[in-house]
Amino acid sequence: MNKYFVNLTTGLDYLKGLDTNVSFIRIQSSHFEGGYHEIALVDLDNNFLMHLALGFRCCILDMTSRYGGRRPSRAIWQGVEWIKYALNRAWFDREIECLYGQHIHFKTVYSKLQKRTKAKLKYYRKFLRVEELDINCFCGETKNDGDHEYYKELVEKWIKR
C-alpha cells in the first residue's frame, strides 16, 4: 500500500493531483548544505517512520527549481539517501550503498550520532514488518520556489476540494 508524503515546501506543487489522503514531511535541503545530518534525523516525522516500519511504500514527493535534467532536489538525492542509510543501520544493522558515492561520508556521520538520535530510530524496530525499506521518490521542476503566497493559496484550494 502506498503512503504519500509531500515534502514541504516546493513538494506542495503535487497537491494539484492528489486527494486529501496525504501526509507531509519536511526534509530540509539546508540541513545537508550545512552538514546538519543529525538534525535531519531528529526532525524526521514519526508518522513517516511508523509507516515505513509497518511496510507501507512511502512515496516522497518534492520539486526543485534547480532540476534542469540533472539531479533531483537536494532533499531527495542527499536527504532521502541519508535517511535510507541511517534506517538500514538502525533497523537492520546493515550498510547500504548510496547514490552519488555518499556511502563513506554517511558511514562517518552515522558513527558520530548521539545515542538519543540512534535511540529514536531504533524505537521503531519493534514494529518492523519488513526486511527492507520501501521508499520511492518523485521529483519534478517548479518555478514557484520561494513564492510563499503561491503555496499558501495552493493549500487553501486543495483543502476546499
Contact, 40 vs 27, CB < 8 A?
A: yes
Residue 114's CB: how many other CB atoms inside 10 A? Answer: 11
Measured distance CA(126)–CA(88) in Å, rounded:
14
Q: What is the pTM of this model?
A: 0.94
pLDDT in tens, 20-30: 889 999 999 99
**How far is CA 133 from its chain centroid?**
13
Angle in degrees, 0-180, between the axes of helices 115-123 and 81-92, rounded to the nearest 10: 80
Question: Has residue 76 got a pLDDT over 80?
Answer: yes
Domain boundaries, the chain: 2-159
Question: Has residue 17 got a pLDDT over 80?
Answer: yes
